[in-house]
A and B are shown apart, each in its own frame.
Chain A
Amino acid sequence: MLLQLQNIFKWVNSGGQRIFLLKDINLKVKEGEFISIMGPSGSGKSTFLNVIGMLDGFDEGSYDFLDESVHQLKEKHRAKLYKEYIGFVFQQYHLLDDLTVQENLEMPLLYKKLKGAERKAMVADMLDRFNIVGKKDLFPAQLSGGQQQLVGIARALISSPKLLLADEPTGNLNSKQGEEIMELFKQLNEEGVTIIQVTHSEKNAAYGKRIINLLDGRMI
């Protein structure tokens, strides 16, 4: 078991009223799964993903990740956990504009205190695997959206996470670029990476082996 969410509730208080963002979420994810989360805009998909990714907290329920109770961990430990095991891919790519492709890839490794030579080897490896060696010295603004997202995914994978969380990874891409990304996800999944993605498109969702539908913060 990779992770397990039980009776998760999340809410915000606004004007004396409690607004639920997530209601009674229950989810088990085994290693090697590929899950697609679908739902209308505002249904809580991103919130759900952020809770899984431990970027955001929740108010009720329990969450176990690799047999550790996330809800009982201190913030610092939780951060350590997600930094080690989880990679993130965003709709807006969120590359650092001031860094080249190569430097963007290298950044997560820096925070892991890896040696220079080791970092170089891993970056070279990724560049090669994603076929972007020629782009390594370019800045994000010089790349197309699809290429940027490739870099984003490469960056998410470079520290070999067990789990890849992707929030509408193809949302800003045209359908051909989107398809390429999905093919890539499929391939990664076959190599053993667990993937949870949020998507609006039925076609993309179909790449997942399991589909979860959200409505108003509730799984249906």
Chain B
Amino acid sequence: MFKNYLKIAWRNLMKRKIFTAINILGLAIGFGSSILIYLFLSHHLSYDNFHENSDRIYRFVTEEHRDNIDYEATVPPAFANEFRQNYNYAEKVAKLAIWENTQLDFELNQQKIQVKEDMLFAEADFFEIFNYPLKEHISTRSLEEPNTAYVTVDMAQKLFGNSNPLGQTMRLDNMETIEVIGVLENFPRATMLEEGLIISFETLKKLDDFAGTEVWTGMTTSLECFALLKPNQDVDAIETALLELPKKHRSTSKNRHEYQLQPLADVHFNPLYGGVDPTLLWAFGIIGLFLISIGCINFINISTAQAFYRSKEIGIRKVLGSFKNHLFWQFLSETFVISVFALGIGVIFASLMLPSFNSLFQTELYMESLLSVQFFGFVALLLILISFLSGSYPGILMSRIVPVLALKGKLNHNDTGGSSTRKVLVVAQFAISIILIAATLVISRQIDYAINTDLGFDKESIVMVKIPKELEAVQLESLTNRLDYISGVEDVTACLSSPGGSENRWGTGVKYHNRPEYEEFSMQVKLADLNYLNTFDLELVAGRNYFKADSITEVLVNEKFGKKIGVNNPEELLGKKFEANGGYVKASIVGVVKDFHDGDFTQEISPIFMAQNPQWYDEIALKINTQNISTTLTQIKGTWKDTFKDYIYEYNFLDDRVEEQYEEEQRYLSLSKIFSALAILIGCLGIYGLILFYVGQRTKEIGIRKVLGSGVANILALFTADFFKLILIAGVFATPISWYLMEQWLQGYTYRTEIHWWIFAVAILSIMTITLITISYQTIKAAITNPIKSLRTE
């Protein structure tokens, strides 16, 4: 029977090729997107699920309680040893520190090689906690020793080509020599480790890095600390026990730490601690559903519209012995055939789109990962779901057709039903498209706002160059002077970090004037020489810049600092005592700087102080002339190289850095652009199918109207009006929904654009335009046909 259904299904589909194509294409796009989304979601959901003891692995994180709570995925550097020695909860504890973009020098086949790589410093126990197997190693050596390293197979290939990686040595940041003593199997794709070079943690101590110290007074996000707990531990009890640590080691700090254990499964999904935002995954899933539903809606609409043309067949079948459920299943098998085709084309779509998808989301998804039981389960489910979703309603409608009427030809289009359902579904399609368009508009306006609003500092034509090693104050000054001498360079400043767009954020507590206690809030520190204000065009609202001095005696603060401590008149701040960083900074306030956005727009402007301390400068900022930029850049590089002969030169533009803060948003934007385009495309296919049907149904009416003198425009208007009504209704539903959703999204931003009514007007109008274009060809074609022709056929 089923074979017979399939055969008939096939013939029916071939008979109505255009509608079949529309149905298949619409569903195929839905399938294709669903497959990509499936890959994306399963990639994320499979994160770090391969570690044997993953349910006992935890990361230590810190809640910083001040006037607000900050969440940091790290603990003070001394935490790990204390936890190891004084507590008995864990089998293993391991620290991990990341160094990004750090220089490596080595010789390969008598050639000097200089590269920059990201790398990790790890305690040997890290490999006891996690399952990253070694492929080969020098068995007499261990990662416990300083100056040893592991590389992954890929990294070995990248650095040393086909030479044996074991025993190779490299200069690290021109400071220490490290030796490769082991080769790790490549990491699975879904894991937290991305760096293929792992150096012993002991090395870090020699490199004089904060993460390698044993202090309780500060933290760095470059450090992470993991533990493999003994079986059956009560995490809450451990966290309670850990409450004593801050009391013991940080009793005077206004920054009250609470250490917590984050399960490994949460690491990838907790945005508080730098994980991916599950909302993104949800958004993906929901959009996938949207696209599939739009495809199904097309199918339902076209099938129910077609039901009339099949009523005779159904009548005959019923008279010859078919029961309702026969017809229902017959129709469902047609849907199934269509879905299978759509699936095939969807898989092709997905594999064609995958490279662009990967580059957009910086993922490495592979079609091969589809060859899994889960995927086949997913596809089978999708096939059945879609067949039922789109097949059952038309199936029911058709099986209800009364045979006598059908055979007598007494049925008209309304008797086969579904016309009001069609309207509802078309409204739903339009609504989805309007929501997606509105979302696209709001996201792009927010990005535009964040990038193009005056941030309070100058970010145009500013080049940022790293200072790769510490220089004597005099040397540094001579370098900046020489750079300033370049004709294309207008201003130069050496500093810890740029005013905004920098990841180098350093917070510290502060004591103001003669107040007895440190303040609750923390301040951001901007260390820089005297040219900082000029170079970035920062505005003084009171007082003056600091004078040149060998130690920190004078500081500048921003207006926000005044607000935080309750002094609204900047003048009042001048001359007041200022202590920070636990007494390391003791100075007086000499000037107040107008507020600028030091973080991105999700963050509130911080209270900031600025001071000079060459020891801490990390980069040089150069304001350059927009003429002859390339000459200027070459000259800057030359001058820099004179000072840092052994280092790789790198620079970037400040405005790029500011934009990079919104990479995530850019991704959301591309996402909503692509998916609205797809939604609209599938929707248009459906509209095209419907208009074909409507025009067919009303040829006689069109003929009569034409005979009575109606023009092409009138007839176009006749059809357009119907659709526009539906679009307006869709708009009425879509506007509050998308307004609400986008308002929720914008809540994530401290500084945000407003949602205007015209955004929705634009969305609705664009849908109207697209619909008009979609329907006009068929409508105009019908309208210019000689009316006598269409009347005669009746």
A-side interface residues toward B, CB under 8 Å? 46, 50, 55-56, 76, 79, 83, 88, 90, 92, 94-99, 107-108, 110-113, 155, 159
**Which listed residue, B12, B312, B326, touches A94 by the CB 8 Å rule?**
B312
Known: A110-B1, A111-B326. A50 touches B404 (CB 8 A): yes
A94 and B316 in contact, given A83-B321, A111-B322, A111-B326 (Cβ under 8 angstroms) = yes
What 1/0 mask marks residues of chain B from 500 to 529 whose CB sits below 8 Å from any chain A CB?
Answer: 000000000000000000000000000000
Q: Report how far A92 CA is from B315 CA in the complex, Å.
A: 13
Indicate the size class of the contact surface on chain B: 20 to 34
Q: Determine the residue in chain B with the shortest Cβ distance to A159.
A: B321
CB <8 Å contact, B403 and A107: no
- Return the chain A residue nearest B312 by Cβ: A94
Of the A-B pairs whose beta carbons lie under 8 Å apart in the complex, a sample of 14, sorted by A's number, is A46-B408, A55-B319, A79-B323, A94-B316, A94-B319, A96-B316, A97-B313, A98-B12, A99-B11, A107-B317, A108-B321, A110-B1, A111-B320, A111-B321
B538 interfacial by beta-carbon distance below 8 Å:
no
The complex places the Cα of A96 from the Cα of B4 at a distance, in Å, of 14
Minimal beta-carbon separation of A51 from chain B (angstroms): 10
Within the complex, the shortest CB–CB distance from B607 to chain A, in Å, comes to 78
Closest Cβ–Cβ distance, residue B323 to chain A (whole Å): 7
Q: Which residues of chain B (389-404) have a CB below 8 Å from chain A?
A: 403-404
B599–chain A nearest beta-carbon distance, Å: 67
The reply to whether A110 and B4 contact each other, CB–CB distance below 8 Å, is: yes
Which residue in B1, B11, B408 is a CB contact (below 8 Å) of A98? Answer: B11
B407 within 8 A of A: yes
With a cutoff of 8 Å between Cβ atoms, the chain A residues found around residue B17 in the complex are: none
B402 to chain A, nearest CB (A): 9
> From residue A90, how far is it (CB to closest CB) to chain B in Å?
7
- Chain B residues with CB below 8 A from A92, complex form: 407
Which single member of A55, A99, A111, A155 contacts B404 (CB below 8 Å)?
A: A55
A sample of 16 more A-B contacts (CB under 8 A), given A55-B404, A83-B321, A107-B321, is A46-B408, A50-B404, A55-B319, A76-B323, A79-B323, A90-B407, A94-B312, A96-B313, A96-B316, A99-B11, A108-B320, A108-B321, A111-B321, A111-B323, A113-B1, A155-B320
**Residues of chain B in range 454-478 having any CB-CB distance to chain A below 8 Å:** none
Q: Are A107 and B320 in contact (CB under 8 A)?
A: yes
Supposing A56-B404, A90-B407, A110-B1 touch, asked if A98 and B321 sit within 8 A by C-beta, the answer is: no
Q: Which residues on the B side are within 8 Å of A46 (C-beta)?
A: 408
Q: How far is the CB of B480 from chain A (nearest CB, A)?
A: 85
How many angstroms from the CA of A160 to the CA of B322 in the assembled complex?
Answer: 17
Q: Taking the nearest CB of chain B, how far is it from the CB of A19, in angstroms?
A: 15
Across the A-B interface, give the 7 residue pairs with the lowest CB-CB distance, nearest first: A111-B321, A83-B321, A98-B11, A108-B320, A94-B316, A55-B404, A108-B321
Q: How far is the CA of A98 from the CA of B12 in the complex (A)?
A: 7
B98 in contact (CB, < 8 A) = no
The A-contacting residues of B in range 1-41, CB under 8 angstroms, are: 1, 4, 8, 11-12, 15
Of residues 297 through 336 on chain B, the ones whose CB sits less than 8 Å from some CB of chain A are 312-313, 315-317, 319-323, 326
- The answer for the CA separation of A50 and B316 in the assembled complex, in Å, is 14
Chain A residues in 8 Å Cβ range of B323: 76, 79, 111
Docked CA distance A56–B406 (Å) = 12
B409 to A, closest residue via Cβ = A92
The docked-state distance in angstroms from the alpha carbon of A90 to that of B15 is 25
Residue of B nearest to A90 (CB): B407
Complex interface: chain A residues within 8 A of B404 (CB): 50, 55-56
Using CB atoms, name the residue of chain B closest to A109. Answer: B321
Instruction: Pick the contact of B8: A76, A83, A98 (CB < 8 A).
Output: A98
- Chain A residues with CB under 8 Å of B313's CB are 96-98
Closest B residue to A86 by beta carbon equals B319
A159 to B315, CA, bound (A): 18
Tell me which residues across on chain B come within 8 A of A112, comparing CB atoms: 321
When distances are taken between beta carbons in the complex, the residues of chain B under 8 Å from A107 are 317, 320-321
Contacts of B15 in A (CB 8 A): 98
CA distance A46 to B404 in the complex (A): 10
Select from chain B the residue with minimum beta-carbon distance to A111. Answer: B321
Alpha-carbon distance A90/B406, docked complex (angstroms)? 13
Which residue, of B8, B312, B313, B321, has the highest number of chain A Cβ atoms within 10 A? B321
State the Cβ distance, B246 to closest chain A Cβ, in Å: 77
Measured in the bound complex, the distance between the Cα atoms of B321 and A155 in whole Å is 11
CA distance A111 to B312 in the complex (A): 18
Instruction: Please report the C-alpha to C-alpha distance between residue A46 and residue B409 in the assembled complex, in whole angstroms.
Output: 13
Smallest distance from the beta carbon of B406 to chain A beta carbons, Å?
A: 10
**A residues within 8 A CB of B316?**
94-96
Complex Cα distance A112/B313, Å? 18
- What's the minimum C-beta distance from B214 to chain A, rounded to whole angstroms? 82
